[in-house]
A = this chain, B = another copy of it.
Amino acid sequence: MPSDAHAANTTIGVIGLGIMGRPMALNLLAAGYPVVVHSRSRPPVEELVSAGAHEADSPRAVAERSDVIITMLPDSPDVEAVVLGPGGVIEGARAGALFIDMSTIAPATARAVHAAFAAAGVDAVDAPVSGGEPAAKSGELSIMVGGDEPAVARARPILEVLGARITHIGPPGTGQVAKAANQIVVALTLQAVAEALALAQEAGADPARVREALLGGYAGSKILEVHGQRMLEGSFTPGFRLELHRKDLGIALAAADEAGLPLGATIQAAELMDVLIAEGHGDADHSVLRRWYRAD
């Protein structure tokens, strides 16, 4: 937790006030930080301004007024545009500022952004999160951090406002590698649970009892517990949208390709998601993978 003096004297810019960025900015305000915001969509900007934040009209203007700049954006191209594009963060950031990208993007993009800031005398860390909207609201995100130790140390009091579990993974870009690894495990465990519950159903066993029997043993996982239950109920309200998970697997597969590593199961899961998205399930919770498995 930050000291009151640290908070009052550290202006934080937040760019991107979507499902995740909006509650995160509110938590920073509540912790006593002056906050400057910018976002494409008006309603969350107005909400933040009512709550005490200032508005700036471009990423550059946010950076000019901030000691720390946080971005929470959908994908790699968004971060590249907002940071390195015309009117971008890098044009306004002062030497000595700190940049924290909390978006989920390609490790290669994170490293490029880090290098650009390093050349401008700005510390930068990649700090993608897991836990989704509920954890963003409660300030209990898991945060995977890549960056040099001094930059990570500067970011830590701020990250502790937003998250309950902060892990410094390693050098710049490795926070994104950890997030990619996380999304692989979640996708393939969803598929594991979907195939197992489908078999139970079609082979005449009560899938609810099978889930129950499996929870206590080696088959036990957070996904079997939470998403297994959603699959049993056929309740696919997000949660985490399938389409975003597919985007994250694209990042993971690009990073794997770059490393010369073939990830057969992840490739297959991504293809299955593509079909489900084409069938109109992109906005459903990712546990909708269960829908794939039907007896013929």
Contact = CB atoms under 8 A, between A and B. Distances in A.
A217 to B, nearest CB: 5
A188 interface: yes
B188 A255 contact: no
Nearest to A135: B217
Given A174-B205, A182-B196, A213 B295 contact: no
Contacts of A279: none
B185 A130 contact: no
Contacts of A294: 261
The 3 A-B pairs with the shortest beta carbon distances in the complex, nearest first, are A188-B192, A221-B221, A167-B213
- Chain A, interface size category, equals 35 or more
Contact of A214 (B185, B191, B206, B214): B185
Given A181-B199, A195-B188, A212-B167, A217 B131 contact: yes
Given A218-B130, A219-B222, A261 B199 contact: yes
A202 to B, nearest CB: 4
A213 B178 contact: yes
A255 B199 contact: yes
Contacts of A219: 130, 181-182, 185-186, 189, 222
Interface SS majority for chain A: helix
A168 B206 CA distance: 10
A181 B261 CA distance: 29
Interface string A154-187: 0000000000010111110110011011101111
A224 interface: yes
A191 B265 contact: yes
A255 B170 CA distance: 45
A122 interface: no
Interface string A94-119: 00000000000001000000000000
Interface string A275-296: 0000000000000000001111
A216 interface: yes
A186 B195 CA distance: 11
A187 to B, nearest CB: 8
A273 to B, nearest CB: 12
B131 A173 contact: no
Contacts of A214: 178, 181-182, 185
A184 B167 contact: no
Interface string A244-274: 0000000010011011111111101100100
A86 to B, nearest CB: 31
Most buried by B among A178, A255, A258, A259: A178
